[in-house]
Amino acid sequence: MAINAEAIVAPDADYTLIDSDAHVVETERTWEFMDPEDERYRPVLAPHPTDPQVQWWIIDGQARGLRFVTLTEEEMAERSRAQGRDLVTPIGSREDDVERRLRHMDRLGIDVQVLFHTLWTVPTTDRPEVELALCKSWNRWVADMWERGNGRLRWCTVLPLMSMDASLELLHWAHEHGAVGVAIPPILGRKLPIDPYFHPLYEEAQSLGMVIATHIGNGNQDIVDITRPAYDPNAFGLMRFRLLTAGSCEGLLESQLPLKFPDLRWAFIEAGSMWLPWMLHEAKRRSLQRGTPLPDDVLKEFNIFVTCQNDDQLAYTYACGPDNIVIGSDYGHYDGSSQMDALRVMRQRTDVDEETKRKILNENPRRLWRL
């Protein structure tokens, strides 16, 4: 039987369910919000020359950025059957059909989603002026969805990080238009997120109460190319995205940068949580060797949050920080991280106690995103 995305029954819950990782998939309409003088930078969607399952954005004359092919609900239902996970979203709700997304959220039992980009999972441009044009249009596009979303669609801004002054200006605009965080990759060009270059951004984000959200991705084209799996050139690959994200968290812990920004919250999104005990062990061991030991409950002390998945060994990772684990559905995508009914499945699990489920689904994400 095909999975009907419009007919999923929402779970019974006496608290708000918060999806900490949902996506919008960029369309041609995303770029209708460009300033007239930036029209020359408008991306154009093009098919892959040899693979019908892949699309490219042509940006500044180059094939750049990530774009999932728009599958029909029947095609997504077939993938769901093959993978044993619900991947189905109604066409349009993945993009900017707000009414249809909200109806689907109702059926899934999701009260609030935090939206992330799709495009910037890999680098988009090497030119600051092009990056600024793309970011301004994308932010306006998502802010328009937030305005139509009745408070249920919050989002993480994408900033033109090659231009820090422009980033700080756009950060304030995004905060005024519903953004709750800043999406950054675990590596950006030749800089890591702990680089002092980003400190002005962290200072402003802290003052605005916004989250620094490291979503899986890769902002270094050389590393994207090097880590392309030989068995499937279009596969995402563990090394390319997830390991970089886990390593970024370990680097943040070792740097003890959160001590410099004590009220800033950090999130590591869509990498699962099974890596967390390993990275905590490594960071604590190395910090102790340097004579700068980390707190026992370092996630809580440093305001660091991590998204889990339903197939994680939760008892193994939850012990690392019961107040700092959240969950996301990866809504709108259909890769290895995606499970549209992730929150419903978590709510109905019998191997997780009710207090834990309430924390993961409501209390922890409410503190993270300040909802």
- Report which residue type is found at 101: R
Domain ranges for the chain: 18-369
Per CATH, the homologous superfamily of domain 18-369 is Metal-dependent hydrolases (3.20.20.140)
d(CA 254, CA 12): 41
**Mean pLDDT value across residues 275-289:** 95
Q: For residue 338, what pLDDT band results from cuts at 50, 70 and 90?
A: confident
- Are 320 and 299 within 8 A, CB to CB? yes
Q: What is the spatial distance between Cα 242 and Cα 248, in angstroms, rounded to a whole number?
A: 10
Taking the alpha carbons at both ends of the chain, their separation in whole angstroms is 37
Tokens representing 172?
């304030």
Residue type for position 368: L
Which three-class secondary structure state does DSSP give residue 63?
A: strand
pLDDT level of residue 78 (50, 70, 90 thresholds): confident
Which residue, chain included where needed, has tokens 């209708």?
32
Q: What is the pLDDT of residues 200-226, one digit of tens each?
A: 999 999 999 999 999 999 998 888 888
pLDDT at 89: 78
Return the amino acid letter for 195.
D
Whole-angstrom CA distances from 363 to 158, 295, 323, 349 are 26, 22, 8, 18
Task: Kindly indicate the confidence band of residue 256, based on its pLDDT and cuts at 50, 70 and 90.
Answer: very high
pLDDT computed for residue 67 by the predictor: 73
| Contacting residues for 240 by C-beta, under 8 A, at least 6 apart | 218, 223, 224, 227, 228
pTM: 0.91
CB 298 within 8 A of CB 258: no
Tens digit of each residue's pLDDT (9 = 90 or more) over 168-193: 999 999 999 999 999 999 999 999 99
Q: Is the model's pLDDT at 326 over the cut of 60?
A: yes
Per DSSP, which regions of the chain are E strands?
18-23, 44-47, 55-59, 62-64, 112-116, 153-157, 179-184, 211-215, 265-269, 304-308, 325-327
Say if residue 3's pLDDT is above 70.
no
Tell me the three-class secondary structure of 291-338, residue by residue: CCCCCCCHHHHHCEEEEECCCCCHHHHHCCCCCCEEECCCECCCCCCC
**Could you give the CA distance from residue 191 to residue 188 in angstroms, rounded to a whole number?**
5
* CB neighbourhood size of 184 (10 A): 22
Give the burial string for 113-127 (b: 16+ CB within 10 Å, else e): bbbbbbbbbbbbbee
Q: How confident is the model at residue 158 (pLDDT cuts 50, 70, 90)?
A: very high
Q: What is the pLDDT of residue 10?
A: 43
